[in-house]
Amino acid sequence: MKKKLFSEIPYLTSQRLVLRKIVPEDAPGLTELVNSPNVYRYLPTFLFEKKYDVETVIERLYDECFKESIILGIFMEGEFCGLAEFYGFRDDAHKISVGYRLLERFWGQGIATEALGLMVDYLYGQTDIEIITASTMMENSASARVLEKNGFDLVVRASDEDWGYEEPTPSDKWIR
């Protein structure tokens, strides 16, 4: 029997990556990520890790945030590379959205593609999730390629969405 998505904090592994719970020792890597304007230029302004100082984020991540999303650290050879997120859970529709963000020094190494693959395998293999969605800013072609490589289909182009900016953000909608 498949489990409900929020019944546990997943621990996902491949030959190269580990996706796991964020712990206080991960604060330096998370600080580097949060302070990178290039990382966040294609992301909503209201992400959990941007709400508080990093220590508070780590302290509250799995109580306050766990009701609505699951955020995992992405690690390669023990080094923090970025975040992977399950969010927008709809139990009635067995649906979840996914997202990811990497430190700039890890861009272009296939890490986002591999991390997303682990997430998709976990969702379809171990949980009762039936629909996975994602959103990207239209300009974020790298993220679009990550989604395509993981079998996502573009279903809506340039849909205005509230990402926390002054004007609605034209974004692309993906489904798998």
Q: Could you read off the pLDDT of 23-77 as tens digits, one per residue?
A: 999 999 999 999 999 999 989 888 989 888 999 999 998 987 677 789 999 999 9
Q: Where are the domains of the chain?
A: 5-175
pLDDT the model gives residue 66: 74
> Could you report the per-residue pLDDT of 105-114, keeping only the tens digit for each?
999 999 999 9
Distance separating alpha carbons of residues 31 and 49, to the nearest angstrom:
9
CA separation (Å) from 53 to 17, 22, 24, 49, 82?
26, 14, 12, 8, 17
Instruction: Compute the Cα dihedral for 120, 82, 161, 90 and give only its sign.
Output: positive
pLDDT the model gives residue 46: 86
pLDDT the model gives residue 73: 98
Tokens coding 23:
């712990």
pLDDT the model gives residue 23: 97
Comparing CA positions, the residue from 140, 68, 66 lying closest to residue 102 is 140
Q: The whole model's pTM is what?
A: 0.94
Residue range 130-152: mean pLDDT, rounded: 97
Give the start-end residues of each E strand in the chain: 12-13, 17-20, 69-76, 79-90, 95-102, 131-137, 153-161, 169-175
CATH number (3.40.50.300, 3.30.1330.10, 3.40.630.30, 1.10.8.870) of 5-175 reads 3.40.630.30
The residue with greater pLDDT, 92 or 118, is: 118
Cα 105–100–94 angle (5° rounding)?
A: 165
User: Which three-class secondary structure state does DSSP give residue 90?
Assistant: strand
pLDDT the model gives residue 126: 95
pLDDT the model gives residue 4: 84
